[in-house]
Amino acid sequence: MLRPKWLANDGDAPVSAQAGLVPGAGAIDDAPLLDAYSGAVIGALERVAPAVTFIEVAGPARGARAAGASRYRRSEPRSGSGFLFTPDGYLLTNSHVVDGAEEISVRLNDDTRFNADLVGDDPDSDLAVLRIGSPGVLPYAEFGDSSRLMVGQVAIAIGNPLGYAKTVTTGVVSALGRTLRAKSGRLMHDVIQTDAALNPGNSGGPLVDSKGRVIGVNTAMIPQAQAICFATGINTAKWVISQIFAHGRVRRAYIGVSGATVPIATRVVRHFSLPGNTAVHVAEVVPGSPAALAGLQTGDRMVALDDVRINGIDGLQRKLDATLIGRECELQFLRRSSVIKTAIRPIEMPAPRTAAGGSKFKESLP
């Protein structure tokens, strides 16, 4: 009986040779590839791991009794991750890790402990800067450039998930340019999606590339999903750090309205040659605010600011950056059957407002 060529002359060969598992039998030796990958991960860790910190926070318990009933209050310990980015003790973490902290303790990679001071935080980007006092020079991480990332490149997460210190997980950059809702209600842009596993406690730790450069700050995961995790791009973090160092806070513009994204009828868009088919419907105007001084009223629909289309709440929030503070801009809006253009001068956003729930902020504006 004729035998297939691939069966010819191998009847007496060992099983391992038939399977192509020994040298000389057509095997593909992937050991060098695995060694190269392992070497890249290990090399990255050697560069960045000494700068990664374990953060412990003591603060009032969530849901504690109101002020004045101190006997009901108790300290609720929380933990997260962070990393040093300067040799004199400045470190970066998530805002939600240190939110409401009464005491912050930082443990370095060598288990040295320090008390930390909060230099500044920005709930809208979920980032915070801390500082520890050390008599000597500290190891610190090198920043990368998140604008140069490519989908598929190696991503390494380092942190302290569920209290397990110095935990490393690896994956790839799954997607770029994601958006994520912060606890404050604002939308965070240019978020990195990765499948490097993150768990509670990883928050604030670094996401690094194969050369050990920080490309993101681990921020969130989707509990109901697998391998869908997110990190704030390091370029966003650089901007937040510069704002905190310069002003002690992140400066954003404020006009004083709340509202919701609404569609505009196609015939109205065509009739007025509007830049888009969505707008921000004004639900409330804060008395004395720039919007009130500009004559904006409840029921108006904002379509453009400073010649830039307003396609909804998130678009308006993104437009209201520090460059508009104190500068006169042109606001274009619909009022009943008319298009009105008026001058408005945004001011700096007041101190952040806190809220009990997150959902209602989805339809609010600064």
Q: Which of 95, 203, 258, 289 is catalytic?
A: 203
Distances in whole angstroms, Cα of residue 320 to Cα of each of 104, 261, 316, 317, 347: 32, 16, 6, 5, 10
| Best CA proximity match to 227, nearest among 189, 174, 274 | 174
Cα angle vertex 333, ends 327, 335, to 5°? Answer: 140
DSSP state of 139: -
Radius of gyration of the chain (CA): 27
Q: Got the DSSP string for 19-83? A: TT-STTTT----HHHHHHHHHHHHHHHHHHGGGEEEEEEEEEPTTPPPTT-GGG--EEEEEEEEE
Q: Which of 121, 126, 209, 300 is catalytic?
A: 126
* Tens-digit pLDDT profile for residues 252-290: 999 999 888 999 999 999 999 998 899 999 999 999 999
* Tens-digit pLDDT profile for residues 127-164: 999 999 888 899 999 999 998 999 999 999 999 888 78
Q: What pLDDT does residue 19 have? A: 45
pLDDT under 50: residue ranges of the chain: 6-8, 11, 13-22, 64-72, 353-366
Q: Let me know if 300 is a catalytic residue.
A: no
Distance (Å, rounded) from C-alpha 145 to C-alpha 133? 28
Quick check: helix, strand or coil at residue 242?
helix
Q: Let me know if 203 is a catalytic residue.
A: yes
Q: Let me know if 126 is a catalytic residue.
A: yes
Q: What pLDDT does residue 224 have? A: 76
Distance (Å, rounded) from C-alpha 167 to C-alpha 160? 6
Domains within the chain, CATH numbers bracketed: 146-238 (2.40.10.10), 253-363 (2.30.42.10)
Q: What pLDDT does residue 138 have? A: 94
Q: What pLDDT does residue 359 have? A: 30
Q: Which of 81, 95, 96, 289 is catalytic?
A: 96
Neighbours of 285 (CB within 10 A): 22
Residues 6+ apart with CB under 8 A from 221: 198, 199, 202, 228, 229, 230
